[in-house]
Structure 1
Amino acid sequence: TIGVEVHPLDFHTNCGKIRFYCWDTAGQEKFGGLRDGYYIHGQCAIIMFDVTARLTYKNVPTWHRDLCRVCENIPIVLCGNKVDVKNRQVKAKQVTFHRKKNL
C-alpha cells in the first residue's frame, strides 16, 4: 500500500446494514508522517503484521502507541498475516505484545 487505500465493507446484520470503512495504511516508515491524519475519528483498529517479516512485528508497539495517542480508548485487535506461509520469521510464542496491552 502506498499512502492509504479505503475499502467500504457492507455487513448485513439483524440490526440492519452496517458499513465499515477499512483504511489500509502503508506500514513503511517513509509514510509514517501521514498515518496520524488517517487515524483521526477512528472508532476501532486492526494492527496487522506479516509473520514472514520480523520488522513488521517490531513496528507493532509504535503503531499501537500512535493509535492510542490519536484515538483514545478505541478497540484494537492485533492480527498476524500470512500464517499459511512456511518461512515464518515470527513464531506464535514470540507474539507477546497483545498480552501486555490487552489486545
Structure 2
Amino acid sequence: MASGDDMPTFKLVLVGDGGVGKTTFVKRHLTGEFEKKYVATLGVEVHPLVFHTNRGPIRFNVWDTAGQEKFGGLRDGYYIQGNCAIIMFDVTARVTYKNVPNWHRDLVRVCENIPIVMCGNKVDVKDRKVKAKAITFHRKKNLQVRRDFQTH
C-alpha cells in the first residue's frame, strides 16, 4: 500500500488473455460508458479507480496489462509490488479460462501472497462456452469468485 495523500492506495494488477475485456472493464468503472470496439493495450496502462467505503475512500491504481503473448517478457515488471490482482477470462472463449492457471502462476511467482480474484467477463453474451459449474480453478488455489453479475 502506498499513499501520496491520506487516501489508502493499492496497486491492483489486472491480467488475462488479450480480448477478454480488461480495458473495457476498467473504462466502464471510470466513465460509466461501454466501449464496443476492441483496441489492444500496448504494454500497460495505469488507471486510478476510487471506491467509497464506510471507512472512507480507497484508491486502486489498476495496472491494465496487455494480454498478447508478445508482451509476455515485460509482465513481471508490471507485477512487482502488486498489492492485489484480478485474473480475467472471457466466458465466451474457453481457451481464456484454460489459461487462468498460467496467469496465476506468473502472478504468484512475483507477488507471493497477494489477494487474487478471478473474474469471468462477458456474462451478458448469449454464446457462453465456460459454464459456471465448470469454473473450478479457484477452489484449488483459494481464489475469490463471484457468481454471475453485471455492472450497469
- TM-score, with structure 2 as normaliser: 0.64
Of 60, 66, 86, the residue aligned with 2:126 is 86
Counterpart secondary structure, 2:112: coil
Residues in 2 aligned to 1:27 and 1:12: alpha-carbon distance in whole angstroms: 29
Asked if residue 44 in structure 1 is aligned to residue 84 in structure 2, the reply is: yes
**Match of residue 34 from structure 1:** 74
Q: Which amino acid aligns with 2:122?
A: K
Structure 2 unaligned regions, length at least 5:
1-40, 144-152
- Superposed displacement of residue 14, structure 1: 3.8
Q: How many residues of Structure 1 are paired with residues of Structure 2 in the alignment?
A: 103
**Match of residue 2 from structure 1:** 42
Asked if residue 16 in structure 1 is aligned to residue 56 in structure 2, the reply is: yes
**Match of residue 138 from structure 2:** 98
- TM-score, with structure 1 as normaliser: 0.92
More helix by share: 1
Counterpart secondary structure, 1:41: coil
Residues in 2 aligned to 1:13 and 1:93: alpha-carbon distance in whole angstroms: 32
**Residue-by-residue CA offset, 1:15-63 (whole Å, 9 max, x unaligned):** 3332210111112222111111100000000100011111211110011
Residues in 1 aligned to 2:117 and 2:51: alpha-carbon distance in whole angstroms: 19
- Superposed displacement of residue 75, structure 1: 0.4
**Match of residue 67 from structure 1:** 107
**Percent identity between the aligned chains?**
84
Structure 1 unaligned regions, length at least 5:
none
